[in-house]
Amino acid sequence: MIETSCHCGAVHLTIQNAPTEVTDCNCSICRRYGVLWAYYPTSDVEVFAPEAGTDVYVWGTGRTAFNRCKRCGCVTHWSATDPARRKMGVNARLMDPEVLARARVRHLDGAVTDEYID
């Protein structure tokens, strides 16, 4: 079990397993956020946040909702706007460095080809 949180601790996540792989995406939003995404089935992650404690940003095709803490501004995760997708991304940079150090970093060309380039 992995527990992680935003900087202020208002939003925290409990995850079934440590990531074995994380994705560094160069699309226009991910490179600005500076995140590394660990992908999970939605059933493997619990998100705890105070009521109205997060802001959500949806852009482009509207398929992905990026969530951040309203208090400290940390991007915590993304979720699919279509619940049938049953996949989400957790900002692995919020995890303890020891957990992140064991994960392989993959590089995704989300800006052009949507293919891994490593």
The per-residue pLDDT for range 45-61, each reduced to its tens digit, is 999 999 999 999 998 88
The per-residue pLDDT for range 62-117, each reduced to its tens digit, is 999 999 999 999 999 999 999 899 999 999 999 999 999 999 999 999 999 999 99
Return the CATH number at 54: 2.170.150.70
What is the count of structural domains for the chain? 1
The per-residue pLDDT for range 2-47, each reduced to its tens digit, is 999 999 999 999 999 999 999 999 999 999 999 999 999 999 999 9
In which domain, by residue range, is 63 found? 2-116
d(CA 7, CA 10): 8
Does residue 32 contact residue 116 with C-beta atoms inside 8 Å?
Answer: no
